[in-house]
Structure 1
């Protein structure tokens, strides 16, 4: 693995990335390459890098897992901004970097994303035609989630609160950084937060199972307005022409990955090859790192990428 800082001419900050290489890597050869996109509130050292990134590298791909702008080890200020437009643009900027590497085959680039990263990966593929195939792992349409559960089903109220907070910060007030999860599984139980996705997210992000310094699970509240007007799958019926695979778990949780996955698959009618992998007995966060469901997903997505890259 090689850690790099990606600097684009149009960026005032760099994107931190880890490049994972296949066994027997030869820098004089060219390889199919996959950009791996981390979940909302996550980082490259978690499921996008150490699970799916590593697994795909072992299958013969060069994989670039990176931290989103304003998050993890990447630059950008203020910190912990979750801006879908920026998240999608980051994918193109990582591809800009990838195509300059002599061992990357620019005609064989794919993208994979997990959770919110799955929604961003699909959205990027609508307009970024350097992407030749896309896989969404338990992907979430973050715009839909913000309009619903994350705003307590009051998106206009959330927007007004964000507007007031942004004005306060512009006048010198303290930033409002929202912590997205309880501090521990015990704290979740004590607060009665035992809904499947909330509790399993806490078990992943707030325990040694998945906890990493860059996975902050925080969001700058005042800069999240545009998220509520964003749709990961807008125009998919027309623009999503590349091969697409959607992987979902059938144990449904409040974050809505199963619902969003079915919608992404259903709207991908223009795709050259659309595939749905629906795994019984597994949940959203099982697909982050649990060996059995990850193996089931890898058994489908690795051949899919080999076929199209």
Structure 2
């Protein structure tokens, strides 16, 4: 693995990434490459890099897992901004970097995203035609989630609160950084937060199972307004022409990955090859790192990428 930082001429800050190489890597050859995108509140050292990135590199791909702008080891201020437009632009900038590497075949680039990263992967693929195949792993349309559960099903109320907070900060007030999860499983239990996705997210992000310094699970509240008006799947029926694979777990949670996965699979009618992998016994966070469901997903994802990036 090689850790890099790169900065395009139109960028005001660097992007931090880890590149994983296939066995017997030969830098004089040109390899298929995969961009691996981390979830909302995550970082490159978690599921996108150390699970899916590692596995796909072992299968012959050059894989780049990176930190989103304003997050992890990437640059950008203020910190902990979750801006869907920027997140999608990051993908194109990562591809801009990939196509400068002599060992990457510019005509064989795929993309994989987990959770919110899955929604961003789909959205980028609508207009970024350097992407030849896309995989969404328990992908979430973050705009839909913000309009619903994350705003308490009161998006207009959330927008009013964001507006007030942004004015306060513009006048020199303290930034409001929201912690998205309970501090521990015990805190979750004490608060009665037993809903599947919330509890399992805490088990992943707040315990040694998945905890990483860069995976802050924080969000700057005052800069979240544009997310409520964003839709990962807008124009998918017309623009999503590349092969697409959607992986979902059938154990449903509040974050809505099963629902979003079924929606984009149903709407991807212009895709050259659309495939649904629906895993009966597994949940959203099982697909982050648990060996059996991840293995079942990779049994489909790996040949899919090999077929379309051959």
- 1:6 Cα shift? 1.5
- Other-structure match for 1:36: 36
Q: Unpaired segments of 5 or more residues in structure 1?
A: none
Provide the residue aligned with 1:84 in structure 2. 84
Aligned to 1:111: 111
Question: How far is the alpha carbon of 1:256 from its aligned partner?
Answer: 0.2
* Aligned counterparts of 2:191 and 2:21: Cα–Cα separation in 1: 43
Q: Which runs of 5+ in 2 are unaligned?
A: none
Aligned ranges 1:16-31 → 2 under 5 Å: 16-31=16-31
Residue 277 of structure 1 aligns to a residue whose secondary structure is strand
CA distance in 1, matches of 2:89, 2:192: 38
> CA RMSD of the aligned region, Å?
0.3
Residue 119 (structure 1) shift: 0.1
Specify the SS of the correspondent of 1:275.
strand
1:14-163 aligned at under 5 Å gives the runs: 14-163=14-163
Distance 2:208 2:181 in 1: 15
Q: Partner of 1:265: helix, strand, or coil? A: helix
TM-score (norm 1): 1.00
**Large movers: runs of 4+ above 4 Å:** none
Partner in structure 1 of residue 288 of structure 2: 288
TM-score by length of 2: 1.00
Q: Deviations over 1:34-93 (max 9, x none)?
A: 000000000000000000000000010000000000000000000000000000000000
In the alignment, the residues of structure 2 paired with residue 52 and residue 171 of structure 1 have an alpha-carbon distance, to the nearest angstrom, of 43
Distance 1:185 1:21 in 2: 36
Q: Quote how far apart the aligned CAs of 1:149 are.
A: 0.2
CA distance in structure 1 between the partners assigned to 2:9 and 2:223 by the alignment: 24
Cα distance in structure 1, aligned partners of 2:41 and 2:8: 23
Q: Separation in 2 of the partners of 1:266 and 1:159?
A: 30
SS in 2 for 1:111: strand
> 1:111: Cα distance to partner?
0.3
Distance in 2 separating the partners of 1:243 and 1:52: 19
> For the residues of structure 1 that align with 2:235 and 2:191, how far apart are their CA atoms?
40
